[in-house]
Amino acid sequence: MQLSQSAPERSWNWPAGEFTRVPFAVYTDAEIYALEQKRLFQGPTWNFLGLDIEVPNAGDYKLTHVGDAPVIMVRTREGAVNALLNRCAHKGAVVCYKPRGNVQEFNCVYHNWVYDLGGKLTGVAFKKGVGGKGGVGPEFEPDDHSLRALRVETYKGLVFGSFSDETPPFAEYLGAELLKAIDRVFIKPLKVLGYHSQVLPNNWKLYAENNKDSYHASLLHVFHNTFGVVRPNMGGGIKISPSGWHHLSYTERSAPNDDETGREKVRSLKDQYKLHDPALMEHRLELGDLITNSIQTVFPNLIVQQILNCLAVRQIVPRGLDRAELVWTVLGFADDTPDMVELRLKANNLVGPAGFISMEDGCVGGFVQRAAKADPNAMTIMPMGGKAIEPSQGSRVTEAAVRGFWKAWRSCMHM
């Protein structure tokens, strides 16, 4: 596995190309976590940074992360979106520490090194010294000390960054079919309705796996079954990119009767649901289909969500070996009516840290993390749906997409 012998013992049998079993040590080994930062997050991957609507004007910026690395996403005066490593070229202090704002330039508070919006070093305090003494000397070249810039690609308003020159273009990275899945949701200009953020008591990979695990939805999330968002007998399926790295799981209801309107109603809401406010489960068919639940992942850190009319993107941020932060950006369309915004915000109660559906996901990863420490050489198993990493039409009782995650992980990690 190309890891030092000083790391915790690794006596497991994990053959190359094995994606149906995974050692628990991948969640608990500090050396593996450190290696992920270099080989995976700073390797040939596209990492979600944010949305371009979050930085609409020149000088607007937002702080974000690629793995552990702090990154500034900023709009330049020329209108492009840059991604800069938030680390001064001098002593390595973060250059920008407020989570968002608008600036003319970036100024490191430690020693007053100044950078433009493209990351170029434009000023050094006491560059020529004081009274003819000190300073940086004539050999100092400011152009050699810019903030490190990431490669950036934007698709449908989603901004991705990569540290690697080997990362293929985003369209090739994701594949045509899953690009169409993003197109399906982002059909017109977006607006941000709000944010959730929660700290999960587990390694980041456990939440990444959770979103690719489609068959737990109707078991763990009782609300899904009770109110018909996701049931095992509903239509839908799993789509997987040709690489196996990315996936889409979706469920759809049967077509409404001819006398029903765009607000799909199988029967009256009062009869169908036992909620104090049944409007929570109202679903306006705005995307041209009957899909109630759509969860799409882009390896390694993005989830695109459509649950009824609740649209969001989720960013996974590692916060150490046994912690991860999940940042939810709740979305609507720029032309939403006030009534539609209200409907989206009501549906948003399904998700987030205390969501009727997703609150269970906030704790089950912690259950695994705690138990994984008992024997790091033991294995998890993923037998559902066989051994293949392939799409599934009509059934979501499969772990094919989870196996795809481990294919991606092992490829990046060279393990």
Fold type of domain 176-413? Naphthalene 1,2-dioxygenase Alpha Subunit; Chain A, domain 1 (3.90.380)
Same fold? 47-153, 176-413: no
- Rounded to 10 degrees, what is the CA torsion of 72, 156, 248, 341? 90
Burial of 236 (0-12, 13-18, 19+ CB in 10 A): buried
Burial of 252 (0-12, 13-18, 19+ CB in 10 A): middle
For the chain, give the secondary structure using H, E and C.
CCCCCCCCCCCCCCCCCCCCEEECHHHHCHHHHHHHHHHHHCCCCCEEEEEHHHCCCCCEEEEEEECCEEEEEEECCCCCEEEEECCCCCCCCCCCCCCEEECCCEECCCCCEEECCCCCEEEECCCCCECCECCCCCCCCHHHHCCCECEEEEECCEEEEECCCCCCCHHHHHCHHHHHHHHHHCCCCEEEEEEEEEEECCCHHHHHHHHHCCCCHHHHCHHHHHHCCCCCCCEEEEEECCCCCCEEEEEECCCCCCCCCCECCCCCHHHHCCCCCHHHHCCECCCCCCEEEEEEEECCCEEEEEECCEEEEEEEEECCCCCEEEEEEEEEECCCCHHHHHHHHHHHHHCCCCCCCCCCHHHHHHHHHHHHCCCCCCEEECCCCCCCCCCEECCCCCCHHHHHHHHHHHHHHCC
Contact indicator for 313, 331 with CB cutoff of 8 Å: yes
In angstroms, rounded to a whole number, what is the distance separating the alpha carbons of residues 34 and 68? 9
Give the pLDDT score at 153.
98
CA 143 → CA 80, 115, 379, distances in Å? Answer: 21, 11, 50
In angstroms, rounded to a whole number, what is the distance separating the alpha carbons of residues 176 and 305? 19
Domain ranges, ordered by start, for the chain: 47-153, 176-413
Contact indicator for 158, 313 with CB cutoff of 8 Å: yes
Burial of 194 (0-12, 13-18, 19+ CB in 10 A): middle
CATH no. for 47-153: 2.102.10.10
- The number of residues in the chain equals 415
pLDDT tens for the chain, residues 1 to 415? 455 544 444 657 898 889 999 999 999 999 999 999 999 999 999 999 999 999 999 999 999 999 999 999 999 999 999 999 999 999 999 999 999 999 999 999 999 999 999 999 999 988 888 988 888 888 999 999 999 999 999 999 999 999 999 999 999 999 999 999 999 999 999 999 999 999 999 999 999 999 998 776 666 556 656 665 666 667 789 999 999 999 999 988 766 543 344 344 434 434 555 777 777 788 999 999 999 889 999 999 999 999 999 999 999 999 999 999 999 999 999 999 999 999 999 999 888 888 777 777 777 888 889 999 898 889 999 998 889 999 888 777 799 999 999 999 999 999 9
